Structure 1
């Protein structure tokens, strides 16, 4: 859906935490103006356990349809993971929708327009044998290589062709902590030295 943004708002018409009762409003820009297309009341308050939370977020994703930009005051834990897994770009922002929709759209378009420099490819993991691999993302985290840690790691995690993946990094990427917390993988991090950590990722 072109130029559409979903916003979770509370009673005062400002962004609210997704864990609070509120409603999801989908806005679309038409001829230079933002208009509310549709809205739906939404709450996670009665959802108990991971299964019910996933079900509630699945209903939310179904309501969003082709709209893949979601904003709220705060989105964390399993809801964040499920929205991201469904292909949504999640923004945490404070205020009334009409005050920030143009800003979010501009930043989102910048993200899509930035291309990786010519010749830049994701690093290949080193095969250690017996289904074990090692990959360093230190350079990606230290310099502007045109790649992000997510672009380098997520294809490997999605394929799942490993028993153990050792990742050398400057710090554990926050998105990885969320993914392993609520997904099918687990990770153990250890500090190797100043500004260097090792993360062992394996299947639960």
Structure 2
């Protein structure tokens, strides 16, 4: 587990909740000390509808790269649900300092064995919001080496109506680049730490089988 924690901060770099959020700071520990790995502006100003909140939260998660820990003064409702469904470790904290960051990591390590023994790794894409699915192919194949990318994805792509599939992988599976699927799918990619995040959409010609 990497030691990266995303924290919600206001414009004064002070801990805040998602209402007062001005930007996100990602702290990383290099086994000696904490330092700021990444800082970027982000807020939910003028975001009102349920769908907007879900979409903005998912956009935020994409910006966090391989960070899987979120800490805030308060996190609940739809925002909490999206982070929870994306398997984030979620913490509500009342102060921001090195001791608190260390405590978060300690708490995670203490519960890691229990989490690993009680939470199964999804073997098929999981719907995170209406029509949008997610699968971490790297975690899947580490947990189940006998499950190939084709076994995990082909039936889903062929039979499931979806708007977008977000796939974490080390590379795009070669079979998705064949003519059979090249005519059906649009695939865009971006680096996510040492992994690749692929967003897969059905082309217009195939929308008769989707939403």
Structure 2 CA distance for aligned equivalents of residues 94 and 116 of structure 1? 28
1:13-162 aligned within 5 A: 13-114=13-114
By how many angstroms is 1:13 displaced?
2.7
Structure 2 CA distance for aligned equivalents of residues 91 and 116 of structure 1? 18
By how many angstroms is 1:31 displaced?
3.5
Q: Which residue of 2 aligns with 1:2?
A: 2
What TM-score does the superposition give when structure 1 sets the normalisation length? Answer: 0.54
Q: Which residue of 1 aligns with 2:169?
A: none
Runs of 5+ in structure 2 lacking a partner? 121-125, 128-211
By how many angstroms is 1:115 displaced?
7.0
Verify the 8 A CA contact 2:8 2:21 in the aligned structure 1: no
- CA 1:57–1:116 in structure 2 vs 1: closer, same or farther (change >3 Å)? closer
Q: Secondary structure at the match of 1:66?
A: coil
Q: Which residue of 1 aligns with 2:191?
A: none
Verify the 8 A CA contact 2:28 2:35 in the aligned structure 1: yes
Verify the 8 A CA contact 1:13 1:96 in the aligned structure 2: no
Bigger Rg over Cα: 1
Q: Secondary structure at the match of 2:27?
A: strand
Q: Secondary structure at the match of 1:108?
A: helix
Aligned residues, how many?
124
Verify the 8 A CA contact 1:57 1:82 in the aligned structure 2: yes
What TM-score does the superposition give when structure 2 sets the normalisation length? Answer: 0.52
Structure 2 CA distance for aligned equivalents of residues 100 and 36 of structure 1? 15
Structure 1's consecutive aligned runs of 4 or more residues displaced over 6 angstroms after TM superposition are: none
